[in-house]
């Protein structure tokens, strides 16, 4: 598979904090790639650099063969990259349909309202919101708002979808349903880069996993390979040698 997204030697500093440091990875056409790491590893900063919230200090972000590093978010959306955020912020006073129209009309194809409505109905059926299009977005449950966040991103007809902890706050049944929706999205040819702490979802969904810590590459491979990597285990749980020394010191 050819690479749709290539991140090369990406770095970003905020004051005295090096959020991303010489980070590199690729996302292939049609692939689900998981980006994992402990809290504060720099995962959301990477997403913010890819979709134009922040400008990198150095490095390249090549999407579909063109360097988009530093482009504003609206230009990145027009290229075909959409993002579903962890903290959902729907336009609460508008209907589900109108929220989705925002994605359709300002996404990759800049659709008219009439053309956008057709896309909204298609995507609403995919994510399970077809019977709630006339509801105020603010009246949806947490799971419903998560689906709306996903639908709004998909209505932009992206080639690459950035999923930032879309499973957070969902119960086990809702998680399983959302996993099936994500699989259906990939089946439509959309590549997916996902940040997620629900590891059973990562193991089930991902083709490959890139683990980072302190903004740097830590490990890369299949979900099983990365889950068993000693460096990844140490990053999540602490270095076992340091833990043993600490325990001996307090004995």
At residue 232, the 3 state secondary structure works out as helix
CA 110 distance to own-chain centroid: 22
d(CA 104, CA 45): 26
Bridge partners of residue 84, in order along the sequence: 163
* 251 residues of the chain, pLDDT tens digit each: 689 999 999 999 999 999 999 999 999 999 999 999 999 999 999 999 999 999 999 999 999 999 999 999 999 999 999 999 989 989 999 999 999 999 999 999 989 999 999 999 999 999 999 999 999 999 999 999 999 999 999 999 999 999 999 999 899 999 999 999 999 999 999 999 999 989 889 999 999 999 999 999 999 999 999 999 999 999 987 654 433 332 233 22
Cα of first residue to Cα of last residue in the chain, in angstroms, is 54
C-alpha closest to that of 35 among 196, 214, 221, 238: 196
Contact 128, 122 (CB under 8 A): no
Q: Domain residues of the chain, as ranges?
A: 1-71+161-167+191-251
Contact 128, 170 (CB under 8 A): no
What is the token pair recorded at 32? 């689900």
Phi-psi category of residue 65: left, alpha or beta, with phi > 0 → left and psi -120 to 50 → alpha: left
d(CA 49, CA 53): 6
Return the pLDDT at 239.
56
d(CA 27, CA 7): 9
Q: Which residue has the tokens 């997204």?
A: 5
Q: Topology of domain 1-71+161-167+191-251, per CATH?
A: Rossmann fold (3.40.50)
Beta strands across the sheet bearing 216-221: 81-84, 160-164, 191-195, 32-36, 208-213, 216-221
C-alpha closest to that of 170 among 88, 75, 62, 55: 88
């Amino acid at each position: 598979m050819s690479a749709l997204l290539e991140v090369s030697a990406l770095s970003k500093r905020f004051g005295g904090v090096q959020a991303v440091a010489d980070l590199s990875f690729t996302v292939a056409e049609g692939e689900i790639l998981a980006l994992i790491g402990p809290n504060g590893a720099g995962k959301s900063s990477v997403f913010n650099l890819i979709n134009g919230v922040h400008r990198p200090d150095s490095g390249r972000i090549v999407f579909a063969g063109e360097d988009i590093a530093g482009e504003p978010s609206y230009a990145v959306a027009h290229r075909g990259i959409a993002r579903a955020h962890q903290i959902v912020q729907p336009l609460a006073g508008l209907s589900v349909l109108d929220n989705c129209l925002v994605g359709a009309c300002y996404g990759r194809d800049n659709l008219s309202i009439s053309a956008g409505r057709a896309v909204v109905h298609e995507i609403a059926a995919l994510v399970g919101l077809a019977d709630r299009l006339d509801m105020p977005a603010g009246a949806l449950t947490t799971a419903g708002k998560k689906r709306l966040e996903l639908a709004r991103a998909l209505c932009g007809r992206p080639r690459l979808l950035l999923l930032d902890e879309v499973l957070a706050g969902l119960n086990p049944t809702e998680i399983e349903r959302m996993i099936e929706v994500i699989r259906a999205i990939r089946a439509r040819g959309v590549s997916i880069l996902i940040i997620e702490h629900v590891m059973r979802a990562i193991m089930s969904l991902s083709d490959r996993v890139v683990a980072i810590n302190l903004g740097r590459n830590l490990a890369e491979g299949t979900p099983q390979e990365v889950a068993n990597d000693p460096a990844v285990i140490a990053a999540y749980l602490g270095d076992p040698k340091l833990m043993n020394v600490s325990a001996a010191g307090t004995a």
